[in-house]
Structure 1
Amino acid sequence: MQQQPLIIALDFPTKEEALHFLEQFKGESLFVKVGMELFYREGAPLIKTLKEMGHEIFLDLKLHDIPTTVKRAMKQLAALEVDLVNVHAMGGIEMMKAAIEGLKEGAKSPEKVPMCIAVTQLTSMSEEEMKKELNIQSTLKDSVLHLCHSVREAGLDGVVCSAQEVPAIRENIGDDFYTVTPGIRRETDAVNDQHRVVTPGMAAEMGSSAIVVGRGITRANDPIEAYLQYKREWSV
C-alpha cells in the first residue's frame, strides 16, 4: 500500500463511466475507492478489472451487522484481494473482531489480508445532528475518540474520520493508528454535502494517513491536472 495515498473516489453509477474516467490516467497506478453505488451494480468483476489495471482498491461498504454476518461477508471481500475495507465502529467491538477474523480466513495469504478501518462519525454529520438525531450527548470529538478506543481494542488498523479530528486521535490513540480522511476540498472547490471539510495541505499538517477526494477530481474540467494539484498540496 502506498505510504500516504491520495485515494480517488470512483463515485460513478456504472463500470463504463468509471473506466472511461480512468482511461485518462493510462499507465499510472492509482489508489481508488469503490463505494456502494458502483459495487452493488458491478460487483466482483469490476474489482478484478481494477486490480488487473494495477490500481489499489479501498472497498468502501461500511459493513454494520451482527458479528457472524460481517465475518462471512469479509471472508468474501478478502478473496477479491482489495487493499482496504471498512466497517461501522458503532457495530461494536465483537463485530469488528469478527471482521478481522473473516479477512484473515478469506485472504489468499497472510501478506494479502486487507487493511481494515472503521467509520466513526460520518463527515456529513454535524455535532448538532449527532446530538439531536443519534441522541449522543457528548461532543463530536469525544464521540469519535470513544469509538477510536473501541476500534483499537478490536485490533483494526484505524478509522475513517475528519482530518479535523486527527490531531486528537494522534494524541490519544497513537501515531501508528491509520486515519483515512474524506471531506477534502481545495479552496476553489464546492463543499457540497460535507460539513467537516479541510484542504489537502491542512490534512497533511494535521497528520492524516490518507485522504479521499471525489468530485474535486472526478468532476473537474481537467481531472489529471486536478489530481496533480491535489497531490502537490497533499505532499507539502
Structure 2
Amino acid sequence: MLSPVSFELGAGQVLGIAGANGAGKSTLLRLIYRFHKPSAGSVRLDGRDIWRMSARQTARTVAAVLQEQPTDFALTVREIVALGRLPHGTGFSGADLRDEQAIETALARMELSAFSGRLFGTLSGGERQRVMVARALAQEPRLLVLDEPTNHLDIRHQLEVAELIANLDITVVTSLHDLNLAGRVCDRILLLHRGEAVAFGPPEAVLTQAPLEKAFSVRARLEQLSHSDAPHLTFHL
C-alpha cells in the first residue's frame, strides 16, 4: 500500500527512489510509467495528467526498463531495439529515416552496434539489460523509468549502468538498492518506508543518519574513507 506521496522533479534531473523491500518503490514506479492508475491524486508530466493522455502519447514520452527481462525472445538485438519505435507508428517494417537514426543512435549509445544481429537469448544478463535500455532510448522519451537497473549485475556492469544514468540528457526516475551509488548519480532522492515518504531532497540532505535509520531499521553511519572521497555509508544492526 502506497500512501499519498508528492514531489516534483525538474527536467533532466535524476531521481533515485530508495527504501527497504516492500517500501513501495515498484508500486510508485508503476504509477509513473502508467501501469497502475492512482486511486487518488495524479501523475503529471509538463503539467499534464498522464491518464488524460492516450496510451500512445504516454509511450512516446515515458519509457520503462523493468527488473526481469525475458530470455526467450526469438528476435535479434536490432529488432528488439526497433520495438522502441512502435509508439511512433513504426517498428519492424516501414521505418523511415528518423526511425533508422533513432535505432542506430540507441545501439551506438549502449555500445551494441556489433551485437545488432545477435539473438537476444544468447546474451548475458548485463548485455540484455543494455538492449532493453537501448529499446527505451529508441522511443526518444522525455522520461526514463528504471526499476532496479543494477539488480543481478556484476560490479563492472553496475558501474556501466551508473555511468549511463549520470550521462543521460533526459529525466530519469530509478529505484536503487545501493545507496552509495544513488548518492553518486542522483540529483534527488526519495526515501520510502512502508509506503510513506521519509525524506525527499538532494543526496546530502536525505542520506543522513536519522532518515536512513527510520527507513531501514538499522544503525547508519557516514564514513570518510579519505580526504578526497565522498562520505561512504555503512549500516549496522
Q: Please give the TM-score of this superposition, normalised by the length of structure 1.
A: 0.38
Larger Rg: 2
Higher helix share: 1
Q: Please give the TM-score of this superposition, normalised by the length of structure 2.
A: 0.38
